[in-house]
Amino acid sequence: MIIVDGKKLDWIRGEEIEMTIKRAESYHPFMIISLNGKWIRKEEWGRKKVRNGDEIRTLLMIAGG
**For residues 26 and 18, what is the distance between their CA atoms, to the nearest angstrom?**
10
Residue 12's pLDDT band (cuts 50, 70, 90): very high
Q: Report whether pLDDT(17) > 90.
A: yes
**For residues 47 and 25, what is the distance between their CA atoms, to the nearest angstrom?**
19
Domains of the chain, residue spans: 2-60
Residue 64's pLDDT band (cuts 50, 70, 90): confident
With a pLDDT cut of 70, the percent of the chain lying above it is 98
Which pLDDT value is given to residue 63?
75
Annotation: CATH topology of 2-60: Ubiquitin-like (UB roll) (3.10.20)
- The one-letter code for the residue type at 7 is K
Q: Report whether pLDDT(65) > 80.
A: no
Bridge partners (DSSP) of residue 4 are 7, 56
Question: What pTM value is reported for the model?
Answer: 0.88
